[in-house]
Amino acid sequence: MATAPECTADLYPTRGCTEVSIPRQDPVLWSTPGIAGPIQASDLLGFERNGFLTVNQLLTMEEVVRYRTELDRLLYDPALRTDERVIIEPKSLDIRSVFEVHKISEVFAELVRDPRVLDRARQILGSEVYVHQSRVNVKPGFGSSGFYWHSDFETWHAEDGLPRMRTVSLSIALTENHDTNGGLMIMPGSHHTFVGCAGVTPKDNYKKSLQMQDAGTPSNEALTKLVERHGVKLFTGPAGSGTWFDCNCMHGSSDNITPYPRSNVFIVFNSVENAVVEPFAAPAPRPDFIGSRGPFEPIRSSEKGL
Ligand code: 6CS
Ligand code: FE
C-alpha cells in the first residue's frame, strides 16, 4: 500500500475549517470515447458531461428475480443480523445496507465479474478495476430513511484515502424506482466541482455516518448554488435498470414513506492505478468491508455472462 498522504499531494482538501469549492482536477473519462466496449461513444460523452449514464435492462427480469431471491435470503439470515457488515435503520431496526455483498454472496459475486458490468467500468476508468465497496441498500417502505446530499468521493478521499477521482459506481434497481419511493437524485454536471466540506471527521465516524451522514455534507449555501447551476434529476425506472455515476456527483435520496420497497445493489469500481493510501482527513481508515484496503488485483471477467 502507498504511504501517508504527506507523500501524496492532496488535490482535494476537505474537512478543514472552511468549506471550499474547487474545479475537478481529474478527467471524468479515463479512456478515449472511441475505445471498444459496450458503451457507445455518444453515451461516453454524455457520461463525461452529466456524470451519469443509465442502462435500461442491464439485467433481465429473470436475473432480477434471482438477485431479489438472494437478497431476501440474506435479509432473513439470522447470522447476518449480528454481522458488522450489516447496517440497521435507527428507527425501525430493519436492515438498511449489507456491505461487501460480493464477498458474502456468490450470487452477487457473479454480478461483479459479469462482462456487461465489468467492461463498462473498465471503459470509463480506462484500466483494469477492482471493487472499492459493494453493498445492497434496502428501503422497505413505510419510513425507511434517505441519504442526505453528498459526494461519495469526498468521503472516500477523507476517510478511505482514495487519492484521485478515478472511481465509478453502479446502482442496479432490484425493485421498480417510482418517483415517490426514495429513488436516487443526482445534480447533473455537479461532478465537475469538488466541494471540500467544513468540519473535523470524528473518530469511528462510519458507525454513525452509514445511518445518517453529518461530516462530509455541504452547507445549504453550497447546495443551493449547485442546484441553481445544475438542477436535480430523479432516477426512475423498472427493476433491472442500471445507473452508472461518477464518484464526485452530488447526490442523495429521500425517505421512503410509500408501501413500495426500493432495493438496489451498489458496486463501486476503482482503477487499479488509483489504489487507496492513508486517509486524507480522518484519524484512521475505515474498515476493509466499507472501503477495500487491498489486494488491488484486477477483477477477472466471467466472459460468458450470467
Ligand atoms: O460511506 C460511504 O462510503 C458512502 N455512504 C454514505 C452514506 N456517504 C458517503 C458514501 O456514499
Ligand atoms: Fe452515496
**Average pLDDT rounded to a whole number, residues 214-228:** 96
For residues 70 and 31, what is the distance between their CA atoms, to the nearest angstrom?
34
Query: Of 145 and 46, which is predicted with more confidence?
Result: 46
Kindly report the CATH number assigned to the domain that includes residue 236.
2.60.120.620
1 occurs within a structural domain: no
**Average pLDDT rounded to a whole number, residues 256-267:** 96
Domain count, the chain: 1
Report the nearest atom of ligand 1 relative to the CA of 291: 3
At residue 4, does pLDDT exceed 70?
Answer: no
For residues 242 and 171, what is the distance between their CA atoms, to the nearest angstrom?
6
At residue 211, does pLDDT exceed 90?
Answer: no
Q: What is the pLDDT of residues 43-72, one digit of tens each?
A: 999 999 999 999 999 999 999 999 999 999
User: Grid cell 422497505 — which residue?
Assistant: 140
Give the pLDDT band (50/70/90) at residue 91. Answer: confident
pLDDT, mean over the chain: 93
**Average pLDDT rounded to a whole number, residues 167-187:** 97
The pLDDT value given to residue 7? 53
Q: Which residues span the domain enclosing 55?
A: 22-28+38-274
Give the residue, out of 144, 205, 213, with the most ligand 1 atoms within 8 A of its beta carbon, to mutate for a pocket test.
213
The pLDDT value given to residue 305? 46
The pLDDT value given to residue 306? 44
The pLDDT value given to residue 8? 62
144 occurs within a structural domain: yes
8 occurs within a structural domain: no
Grid cell at residue 88:
440497521
55-to-15, 126, 163, 188, 191 alpha-carbon distances in Å: 34, 19, 28, 16, 19
Q: Ligand 2 centroid to 128 CA: how many Å? A: 23
14 occurs within a structural domain: no
Cβ of 166 closer than 6 Å to ligand 1, yes or no, is no
33 occurs within a structural domain: no
298 occurs within a structural domain: no
Residue 109 phi, psi (nearest 5):
-60, -35
Cβ of 152 closer than 6 Å to ligand 1, yes or no, is yes
Q: Ligand 2 centroid to 9 CA: how many Å? A: 25
Cβ of 147 closer than 6 Å to ligand 1, yes or no, is yes
Give 142's contacts (C-beta < 8 A, 6+ positions apart). 92, 256, 257, 258, 259
Which residue's C-alpha comes closest to atom 4 of ligand 1? 152
The pLDDT value given to residue 304? 57
134 occurs within a structural domain: yes
Cβ of 230 closer than 6 Å to ligand 1, yes or no, is no
91 occurs within a structural domain: yes
